[in-house]
Amino acid sequence: MNKLRQNLIISLEYENIPVRKVAVCYQKNRELAEKLASLLPYTSIVVCTTDTLLQDSQLDEISHVLELYHPSGSFYDVCLKQREMMRSKGCRILTLYDWEEKYLNDSFWGNTDYRELAKLVNKVKNDLAAVRNFHITSELGTDISFSVAGRQWLVADGICRNGRLTQMPDGEIYTCPVEESFSGVIVVDGTVSRSWVPDEPQHLEFRQGRLVNCSPALAKYIEPKGPDIYMIGEFALGLNPAHRQIVHNISVDEKAAGTVHFALGDSYNLGINHCKCHVDMVIRKPHIETSPRILLPYFS
């Protein structure tokens, strides 16, 4: 657990903000929450969010929060309420989605140093500022072209900052394609939100940002999510070399170095689409061409 401890400390202390007290908030796994709290060299409390909402007087003592939450689990709405209360009090939040015991092992974290990861992700962001267009292909049949001109790139670098929801593991950079430019085919061979790995690749055809045809299994999966789910909402590059193997957790698998993922639905205010759902879909071995051309780490 030494590597996890090291990366947690880097994330929480990166900007030299004093860590006064950490709340480890969990939804259903107290044992895992207690193990995480024991790793931290700070005063900490363990809180079952579904049983107890911390009030203002208690929140005044807390500077940082670790969330052990499961978005598909019961009472996640209560967890979101607690999160907003904490954010309103200025707490810095590091969320750990769908974590399992194996995530504590050193082998899970590889050799990734979150200081270096943050530097890499931010360098890629700077390089992407010049890029106007992407063409992405794969051996399985992905062939999609789109513009990102005028769109904002955001980094997910694992550094716990005020006003931002940070995840761990982390390591991606993302935007939303210009919707009317987004046409072609993508073939998904990785994880689909939140933990579905299809038995066979899923084909999706887009025309001007809208999904016009897709494999039956995916069509069935997204149909209950409403009419706004059929618009493209995100494009992202994975940059974390520690997570190359599928673990059936989208919050890990989408960070894998050398992968890209697209999302249907909500664009997180990076594009025009608003939707109650956001469905990520990972492509594991893409080939990327940019215009103008830049070198992207982990991509051919």
In a domain, 163, yes or no: yes
pLDDT value, residue 76: 97
- Residue 233: pLDDT band with limits 50, 70, 90: very high
Which of 76, 109, 142 lies at the terminal end of a domain, its last residue? 109
pLDDT value, residue 245: 87
- Residue 55: pLDDT band with limits 50, 70, 90: confident
For residues 130 and 61, membership in a common domain is answered with no
Strands 64-69, 287-291: pairing kind: unpaired
In a domain, 297, yes or no: no
For residues 286 and 206, membership in a common domain is answered with yes
Give the pLDDT confidence of 173-206 residue by residue, as tens digits.
999 999 999 999 999 999 999 999 999 999 999 9
Q: Average pLDDT of 18-37?
A: 97
Give the pLDDT confidence of 143-152 residue by residue, as tens digits.
999 999 999 9
In a domain, 298, yes or no: no
Q: H-helix or E-strand containing 144?
A: strand 143-147
Q: Judge whether 236 and 281 are in contact, CB under 8 Å.
A: no
For residues 38 and 173, membership in a common domain is answered with no
For residues 95 and 118, membership in a common domain is answered with no
Which of 109, 138, 162 lies at the terminal end of a domain, its last residue? 109
pLDDT value, residue 156: 98
pLDDT value, residue 244: 86
For residues 161 and 220, membership in a common domain is answered with yes
For residues 181 and 89, membership in a common domain is answered with no
Where b means 16+ CB within 10 Å and e means fewer, 54-75 reads beeeebeebbbbbbbbbeeeee
For residues 40 and 130, membership in a common domain is answered with no
Which of 75, 109, 143 lies at the terminal end of a domain, its last residue? 109
Distance (Å) of CA 38 to CA 21, 45, 63, 237, 274: 13, 10, 17, 33, 40
Six-digit token string for 100: 């399992």
pLDDT value, residue 56: 84
Other C-beta atoms closer than 10 Å to the C-beta of 139 total 10
Q: Judge whether 77 and 43 are in contact, CB under 8 Å.
A: no
Q: What is the DSSP string of 201-266?
A: PEEEEEETTEEEEE-HHHHHHHGGG-GGGGBEEEEEEE-BTT--S--S-HHHHTTBTT-EEEEEE-
Q: Average pLDDT of 65-94?
A: 96
- Residue 117: pLDDT band with limits 50, 70, 90: very high
For residues 131 and 280, membership in a common domain is answered with yes
In a domain, 296, yes or no: no
Q: Average pLDDT of 53-82?
A: 94
DSSP, collapsed to helix, strand or coil, labels residue 104 as: helix
Q: What is the DSSP string of 44-103?
A: EEEEETTT-PPPHHHHTT--EEEEEE-TTSTTHHHHHHHHHHHHHTT-EEEEEET--GGG
For residues 184 and 261, membership in a common domain is answered with yes
pLDDT value, residue 287: 98
- Residue 1: pLDDT band with limits 50, 70, 90: confident
- Residue 94: pLDDT band with limits 50, 70, 90: very high
Strands 44-48, 22-26: pairing kind: parallel
Total number of domains constituting the chain? 2
For residues 15 and 132, membership in a common domain is answered with no
More confidently predicted of 223 and 245:
223
The answer, as to whether pTM is greater than 0.85, is: yes
Residues listed for the chain = 300
Six-digit token string for 55: 């009030």
Amino acid found at 69:
Y
Domain hosting 284: range is 114-291
Rounded distance between C-alpha atoms, residue 247 and residue 251, angstroms? 10
pLDDT value, residue 293: 97
Of 92, 273, 96, 268, give the one whose Cα is nearest residue 174. Answer: 268
- CATH number, residue 39: 3.40.1010.30
For residues 222 and 202, membership in a common domain is answered with yes
In a domain, 260, yes or no: yes
Distance (Å) of CA 67 to CA 70, 71, 97, 99, 251: 9, 11, 8, 10, 13
Strands 154-156, 172-175: pairing kind: antiparallel
In terms of Cβ atoms closer than 10 Å to its own Cβ (0-12, 13-18, 19+), residue 96 is buried
For residues 280 and 151, membership in a common domain is answered with yes
- Residue 11: pLDDT band with limits 50, 70, 90: very high
Rounded distance between C-alpha atoms, residue 2 and residue 6, angstroms? 6
- Residue 86: pLDDT band with limits 50, 70, 90: very high
pLDDT value, residue 4: 96
pLDDT value, residue 87: 94
Q: Does the pLDDT of residue 300 top 80, yes or no?
A: no
